[in-house]
Structure formats: structure tokens, C-alpha cells
Amino acid sequence: MSSEHPAIKAMKEISEFAIRAAEVIDVSEVDKMVDMLTDVYRRKGKALVMGAGRSGLVGKAFAMRLLHLGFNSYVLGETIVPSISKGDVAIAISGSGRTGLIVDAADAAKKVGAYVIAITTFPESPLGSIADLVVRIPGRSKISKMDDYFARQILGLHEPLAPLGTLFEDTAMLFLDGVVYYLMIKLNVSEDEMRSRHANVEF
């Protein structure tokens, strides 16, 4: 009998990691995040999502769904981003919590009075120390073998089939999709309403 296909094996490992990660995410942190987002939504404030590399792509996907929900949502680095101000919310995504561009951007947002939510594996990181709220998402970091050991041993992933920051990025994507569903409930927004805000001019 042939061994399992490598792509399918990796897919299963990543999925199993995300399930284990979901079991250790602190739901009180999730509730606080959703409360902060709900507040900015009702005040018609801005939500600025920031992340670099693949974490940035995860952030773009989340910002899109926030837009569908009716938020004034933006992505750091885009040409149409307005200034962020006091009472707005910045959602910073970085597995290591040490990505210079994101730490600097979060610090700048904090200095003008915006609330900073950090999505990271390391609450004690530079990003975590800046944030008003840290939501800890377990994941394997691309920069440290010690982080790899934590991910494999604590969460039961024994083979590093997902390179670099894949585990954090994939888990963060699933988590933020879960947050979108939670916001739909909290804000009483239907899928039909979200569809009405979806782009109707596409490539």
C-alpha cells in the first residue's frame, strides 16, 4: 500500500493543528476583541488591519469581511487608507510579534489614541507590549526553533510539514473567519446584507 500523498498529509496536519489551537484560545480575549470591534462599528469609527507578508494577506481577507459587515475597514499600505484617529481600532497580525513594520505601525496608531488589538503567538513580544488587547493564536514561528518545539510538543504537532509561519497564518485565518461569524450574530447582520456590500465589479 502506498503512503499517503504528501499534500493531503500536510493538509490534515495543518487542520489538526488548527483544531488543537482552537481549544486553547482564550475565549475571554475573543469576547473583548469583538466588543471593541462592535463599539467602533456603532460609533462609525475606522478599523485598520495590518500585517506583513502572508499575515498581510490574512489581514486583507479579514478587512474585506469587515467591509461586508458594514465596517469602515481599511488595510495598511493601500493607497486609500485615511488617517487613523482616537477611538479607532487597529488590528495588527504578526505571529512573532516582532515584525518591525507592524510594530512601528501599531505604535503609531497607539500614539494617536487608537486601540490596538494584537493577533500573535507571543503576548510578551514588542507588539504585545504595545497592544490594548492581545489575542494569542498558537502557531509555529518562522524565526525560532524554540517556537517550533512549542508548537509541536504543546499542541501535538510532531512533524513540521508546514514551513515557516504557515501554521500561524492558517490558524489566524480560520480564527478571524470565526470572529466574522460572531460579529454577524452580535450585530445582527445577515448574509444577504453582507452580499449587498460585496463587490459587484470584479476582475
Domain boundaries, the chain: 29-137+169-194
Q: What is the pLDDT of residues 57-100, one digit of tens each?
A: 999 999 999 999 999 999 999 988 989 999 999 999 999 899 99
pLDDT attached to residue 149: 45
Whether pLDDT at 153 is above 60: no
Positions marked active-site:
169
Cell of 67: 467591509
Handedness of CA 38, 39, 44, 47 (dihedral sign): negative
Mean pLDDT of 34-49: 97
Task: Work out the mean pLDDT of the chain and round it to a whole number.
Answer: 87
* 151: exposed, middle or buried (Cβ count in 10 Å: 0-12, 13-18, 19+): buried
Helices 27-42 and 166-187: crossing angle in degrees, nearest 10, is 50
Which amino acid would we find at residue 169? E
CB-facing half-sphere around the CA of 4: CA atoms within 13 A:
8
Cα(197)–Cα(127) distance, integer angstroms: 32
pTM exceeds cut of 0.75: yes
Specify whether the CB–CB gap between 146 and 160 falls below 8 A: no
Q: What percent of the chain has pLDDT over 90?
A: 64
Measured at the CA of 179, the angle between CA 150 and CA 108, to 5 degrees, comes to 75
Task: Point out which residues pair with 72 in neighbouring strands.
Answer: 46
197/53: higher pLDDT: 53
Give the confidence band of 142 by pLDDT, cuts at 50, 70, 90.
low
In the CATH hierarchy, which fold is given to the domain comprising 29-137+169-194?
Rossmann fold (3.40.50)
Strands annotated E in the chain: 46-51, 72-75, 89-93, 115-120, 133-136
**Nine cell digits for residue 182:** 460572531
